[in-house]
């Protein structure tokens, strides 16, 4: 799987989970310990997040990593 495809799936899954929880970007960013601009950039494919950032987002959303990332 190409890097761009992984980032696109991550962005889609992140937006979907954020919507399910009814979190704004500000709220999720605060819970994950990142700034809102970084979250915006991740969701809009303008930033390649670290695995630590992805893990923090998963924790903030109370989901497993494989909910956000295509791990299979």
Residue pLDDT, tens place only, 42-53: 999 999 999 999
Does a structural domain hold residue 19? Answer: yes
Dump pLDDT digits (tens) for 54-65.
Answer: 999 999 999 999
Identify the domain containing residue 13 by its residue range: 3-61
**Cα distance between residue 48 and residue 68, in whole Å:** 14
Quote the mean pLDDT of the chain: 95
Helix 25-32 and helix 51-61: axis angle, to 10°? 110
**Cα distance between residue 30 and residue 9, in whole Å:** 22
Please give the model's pTM, rounded to 2 decimal places.
0.93
Q: What is the CATH number of the domain that holds 28?
A: 1.10.260.40
Q: Is the dihedral of CA 9, 15, 20, 25 positive or negative?
A: positive
Tokens of 27: 């709220």
């Amino acid at each position: 799987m190409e890097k761009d495809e992984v980032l696109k799936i991550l962005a889609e899954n992140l937006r979907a989970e954020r919507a399910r929880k009814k979190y704004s970007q500000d709220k999720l960013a605060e819970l994950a310990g990142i700034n809102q601009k970084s979250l915006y950039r991740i969701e809009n494919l303008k930033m390649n997040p670290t695995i630590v950032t992805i893990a923090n987002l998963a924790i903030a959303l109370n989901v497993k990593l494989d909910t956000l990332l295509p791990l299979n």
